[in-house]
A and B are shown apart, each in its own frame.
Chain A
Amino acid sequence: MTQLPPMLTPILWQMVQIMLALATAPLVTGYVRWLKARLNGRRGPSPLQPYRDLYRLTQKEAVVAHSASWVFHAAPYVVFASAWLAACLIPTFTTNIFLAPAADMIALVALLALGRFWLALAGMDVGTAFGGIGASREMLIASLAEPAMLMVTFSLSLVSGTTQPAQIAAYVLGGHIGLEVSVGLALAAMVMVAIAENGRIPIDNPATHLELTMVHEAMVLEYSGRHLAMIEAASMVKLTLYMALIACLFAPWGMAQPGAGPEGVLIGMAAFLLKLGTLSTALALFETAIAKMRVFRYADFLGGALLLGLLATIFLYVSEAV
């Protein structure tokens, strides 16, 4: 493969990542569903089923309630675009992507908040009780999960001296961090936040449509057709995004650094797919093993994540990493 001029390689990898993020997302969701079904003793749909589902949805017409406004029409695209943009910003197989300096962890958190803001508004737009339930519960979860993620960012920035995911990955790859207690606590907090933000058990059950267990599904109840396809795609991309984030921040081994040749990039891609597979398997096992918690316990759970993040920061002082 010929050497591209150094200005163009980040742009090339960025394009590849944009497409990779979109292409692998339904596969991850499909794999998790298939594995959960197998663990429950069922055959389960094929892991490629989400692709078919999305295609089927785009072929249908969109049914919109009379009381909906332009917010309802615009929201699916805004939610999808913000999730996709966020997925483009996280290094997956290489840290040498063009958009890396455009946003750091704080901006990433805020970008996801943007998607959530529009989704909640869309839930309230039609004016039914379901939308209200979904929106209010989702904002409760967001109010506590977002600060937890910011505290994780804080402790990682104290350890590595930067808030950029690509730079944090480079720091870890440089071997500067040993087995720190703070990093372990930050990882635990991050996992709790990821579970809450993606609406997995024990926070929300992505498989049911019962009022007692709905958060995400309640907000999107009125959507159909291509709008629903966009929203489903957005939540799939979000799941992949969080897995990629955990892999990038806490286990970036295998990622190609700037200056690595094509073999480095191929190793990076293989490592990334391996990490996705491991995290998906872990998620499926975890969801099968525990039950969903009651809504009023969300605050305890997520408050615990926030306090874990705070502890991670404080522990750095005793281990002299700061």
Chain B
Amino acid sequence: MASTLSYDIAHLIGATVLMAGFALLYQRRLFAVLNTFSFQALALAAAAAWQAHIQDAPHLYFTAAIALVFKAMIVPFALHWLVERLGIHRTVETALSIGWTMIIGVALVALSILLVLPVTAKAAALTRESLALAMSVVLLGMLMMITRRNAVTQVVGFMALENGLILAAVSAKGMPLVVEISVAFSVLVAMTLFGIFFFRIRERFDSLDLNYIETFRGDRQ
């Protein structure tokens, strides 16, 4: 059984992932969002590596490596290239002001904590903090998808949500590598699809702002 200090360090790394999730909501520039996302993926890799160490589960090191290579390096780089290539707006357009978004974020964290509180069995009690952190990251990722207008920031929100799911998976015991590989490949496929879609949409409509695009559906004047 891992000691309390190991769990404390795991929680601290998880908290760093959560703080990066908040920082994602705080940014106003697109490149800053991408940098923050790669920082979050870095923290996720550290969390996976640490869990591999204390759970004595070497396959988690692969998870950490995948998170590091794919999510911290390749995905942000690819998105960065996309943004430059398509000449997308560099500022983040928000549907709700940043202050209110952060307040809702804190409420979501409180909700996650409230949900895990009934778990009081000894062993599970140490991991419930990781679970609360992971759920918060997922909810914050969803919040980011809802409150941002650029398609690129929505993709980043989706990725942040995935980060949360992976954090939950590594905190619990016994996640097989197969799952991780399939998740990673689905991420890659999703990225490619998104990229293709962006090119097509931009070609057709000359813009990637959802507000503007929705006017074609007749929903808004």
Contact = CB atoms under 8 A, between A and B. Distances in A.
Interface of A: 178-181, 184-185, 188, 299-300, 303-304, 307, 310-311, 314-315, 317-320
Given A300-B99, A307-B106, A315 B113 contact: yes
A310 B12 CA distance: 17
B102 A304 contact: yes
Contacts of A320: 125
Contact of B128 (A180, A307, A310, A318): A318
Contact of B113 (A180, A184, A317): A317
Interface in B99-157: 99, 102-103, 105-106, 109-110, 113, 116-117, 125, 128-129, 132
B178 interface: no
A319 B11 contact: yes
Interface size range of chain B in the complex: 20 to 34
A178 B113 contact: no
Nearest to B97: A300
Given A303-B102, A311-B109, 10 more contacts: A178-B8, A179-B9, A181-B15, A184-B12, A184-B15, A300-B102, A307-B22, A315-B15, A318-B117, A319-B11
Given A300-B98, A303-B102, A304-B26, A180 B117 contact: no
B5 A179 contact: yes
B19 interface: yes
Q: Which 7 A-B pairs have the closest CB atoms?
A: A179-B8, A181-B15, A318-B113, A307-B106, A181-B11, A318-B132, A178-B8
Contacts of A319: 11, 129
The A interface is mostly helix, strand or loop, or mixed, namely helix
A304 B109 CA distance: 14
A93 to B, nearest CB: 29
A304 B19 CA distance: 11
Contacts of A318: 113, 116-117, 128-129, 132
Nearest to B14: A181
B128 to A, nearest CB: 7
